[in-house]
Chains A and B, each alone.
Chain A
Amino acid sequence: MELCDLSAFVITQQLRQKKISAVEVTESALKRIEAVDGRPGMLDAGSLTAEDEKKVHAFITVTTERALKQAAEVDRKLAAGEDPGLLAGVPVTIKDIFCVKDTPSTAASKILANFTAPYTATPVERLEKAGAVVLGKVNLDEFTYGSSNESSAFQPSPRNPWNTGRVPGGSSGGSAASVAAGEAPLSLGTDTAGSIRQPASFCGVVGLKPTYGRVSRYGLIAFGSSLDCPGPVARNVSDAALMMQVIAGHDAHDSTTANVPVMDYVKSLDQDIRGLRIGLSPDYFRIAFPNPQTGEYEIQALPAEIETAVRRAAELLAAQGAEIVENVPMPNTKFGIPAYFVISRVEAASNLHRFDGVKYGYRAKGPFQDLTQMYRRTRGEGFGPQPKLRILMGMYVSAAQYSEQYYKRALQVRSMIRRDFEAAFDPQGEHKVDVLLTPTCPTTAFQMGAVYGDSVLMQYADQLTVPANHAGVPGLSIPAGLDQDGLPIGIQLLGPDYREDILFRVGRAYERATENDAWRSEKPQVLR
């Protein structure tokens, strides 16, 4: 096993024990990147080569010099007897939706391709202060709009390390792929409708969407301001907990961060789960969607393998003393997607107003008749089709005459979805569950190019993840086996506000119960 394949926990341990150095770990990670990543995403990439199709392409920018300098500083601190931090020497990749000072911060869009951030996002700052080594910025769907990472303006877009003919998921595709390919033990992603959990599920890694407001959004290039959550992607639950320990907590720069103390996520990890009530909901074992012709709701059951993975997990957790509670109703789950369409588009259209070629980023080439022409050409040339789609939908549904009909209703539907969770978790309620156990996605990783053209179907696949974004509750996706094509299956745990600790605990219990499962010794295609 290479140094870069070690868990974050082990790296920090061995570093403190002076068994390895931070520079060595970083060099190992850089070597892995070179071996499996192929060329990084870029504008004007030209056509894909056969070689491209076998590589991961997680990165947009590898910050080699910077990383080695950070690693050297960690080693210096250790040698000097200074505290290097909780994540000392651990390589981490950052989804390129975060501003990191003096690095290109592109949002995977042409409109920010030339933007060098003048400040650093709070979660990244906290990681760096804790001694983590930032390897670089990884790829994503443009402005996080997508579930396959294919819509990035920086091509080649990331590929699933388990099968490079498949998508890594999105929008945090680069995050999940970089962790799955062993390029780094940790990545910082964002989750707006499942964009951490779904790629984590597709790539066989752990992904957490924290409670909304648990991790600061300062420096996160905004998509859906009331939905976006920065969160960890890791290879195991303990590492995710360690990273959360560092990034969680109130930030004076973000008024929506909660003044709730950060608990010790690591300490409670291995507590047993006896007596914990784990709920299963029929509404999460299917996808409900309106027929495009008739508009009537249709139900599609999930593939058997995925349902089996969840049920098996339930059995294993029951064997450890948890109580399984069946038939927890979450009736408003199916309204999550249309409400999400409206809320996210209204917020996105507004958040993208600032990209106007005036003070940063891309400005189209002149000469211009007037300012309006500059705006239109800049935004027309700078944005890809997905942002344009969202902007225009946002403009439409937020227009004064439709605002009541669409936007206000969507916010009311959000209340209804929230109520489902409150009822399920209510200690005085009927079901009194501590966590819900559900599938993460209705599919495993699909083929590249398969559904990019059809945005509605892609969006409905988020039906199992988006309710947590509406309600603000935390959600954890953990790997739970491989399907018959050898592709990872993910299962999801959903919990009450600020109770990431329970999710970690249950996730850890599942890991212990499946420690020796055969699928855990399988390697992704790029690492074989």
Chain B
Amino acid sequence: MTDQITPEVFSHLVELAALQLDPAEGEYIRRQLNNQLKSIHELEAIPLDNSLAPALHGVPYPAEISAAPRADVWQACPDVAAILSQAPQFEDGYIIVPDIPHTNLE
């Protein structure tokens, strides 16, 4: 079963990823993706015992070494201004962006 990323699927992915590609770049990347998919398909051929647990991390985290959740204590950020100074558009205390597409019907 070969999953080919067709130009249609590809442009859907590009939209989903909030990207924008020019046609040449897009075609190059689409070909690369399909090439890489071939090696990813190896995964399907690997004989797997389905009782094998998916490992989110390689190292195990038994209770003894796991960090406990933190105490509910307020810690103010020492330099909020440094964070906000990075905003491309900032007015009256708010971060500004263009409006969101929103249609009101009926």
- Judged by CB atoms under 8 Å, the answer to whether A and B touch is yes
Those of B39-87 within 8 Å (CB) of chain A: 39-44, 46, 48, 52-59, 61, 64-67, 70, 79, 82-83, 85-87
Which of B20, B39, B53, B58 has most chain A Cβ within 10 Å? Answer: B58
A415 touches B53 (CB 8 A): yes
Residues of A within 8 A of B48 (CB): 409, 412-413, 416
Q: Answer yes or no: A434 CB below 8 A from chain B CBs.
A: no
Q: Considering the chains assembled together, what is the distance between the CA atoms of A360 and B13 in angstroms?
A: 24
With A257-B67, A259-B64, A415-B54 already in contact, the answer to whether A472 and B36 are too (CB < 8 A) is no
Residues of A within 8 A of B41 (CB): 295, 338
Encode A19-48 as 1/0 by CB contact (under 8 A) with B: 000000000000000000000000000000
Residues of B within 8 A of A115 (CB): 86
Closest A residue to B66 using CB positions: A259
Those of A372-418 within 8 Å (CB) of chain B: 372-377, 379-381, 383, 385, 388-389, 391-393, 395-397, 402, 405-406, 408-418
Q: Considering the chains assembled together, what is the distance between the CA atoms of A258 and B63 in angstroms?
A: 10
Residues of B within 8 A of A375 (CB): 18
B55 touches A395 (CB 8 A): no
Q: Answer yes or no: A528 CB below 8 A from chain B CBs.
A: no
Q: Answer yes or no: A429 CB below 8 A from chain B CBs.
A: no
B64: shortest Cβ distance to chain A, in Å?
Answer: 7
A118 touches B43 (CB 8 A): no
Q: Answer yes or no: A212 CB below 8 A from chain B CBs.
A: yes
With A115-B86, A260-B65, A409-B46 already in contact, the answer to whether A385 and B58 are too (CB < 8 A) is no
Q: Kindly state the interface size class of chain B when it binds its partner.
A: 35 or more
Q: Considering the chains assembled together, what is the distance between the CA atoms of A373 and B98 in angstroms?
A: 9
Q: Answer yes or no: A361 CB below 8 A from chain B CBs.
A: yes
Residues of B within 8 A of A456 (CB): 35-36, 39
B58 touches A414 (CB 8 A): yes
**Number of residues on chain A facing chain B (CB within 8 A):** 83
B104: shortest Cβ distance to chain A, in Å?
Answer: 15
Encode B7-18 as 1/0 by CB contact (under 8 A) with A: 001100110111
Q: Answer yes or no: B97 CB below 8 A from chain A CBs.
A: yes
A409 touches B43 (CB 8 A): yes
Residues of A within 8 A of B55 (CB): 411-412, 414-415, 418
A371 touches B53 (CB 8 A): no
Q: Answer yes or no: A357 CB below 8 A from chain B CBs.
A: yes
Residues of A within 8 A of B37 (CB): 396
Q: Answer yes or no: B99 CB below 8 A from chain A CBs.
A: yes
A290 touches B42 (CB 8 A): yes
Q: Considering the chains assembled together, what is the distance between the CA atoms of A101 and B85 in angstroms?
A: 13
B67: shortest Cβ distance to chain A, in Å?
Answer: 5
A-B CB proximity, top 10 nearest: A472-B58, A380-B20, A411-B54, A118-B82, A472-B59, A360-B86, A363-B88, A375-B18, A376-B20, A471-B58
Q: Could you name 7 residue pairs across A and B whose Cβ atoms are closer than 8 Å?
A: A212-B57, A295-B41, A338-B40, A341-B40, A392-B10, A410-B43, A472-B57
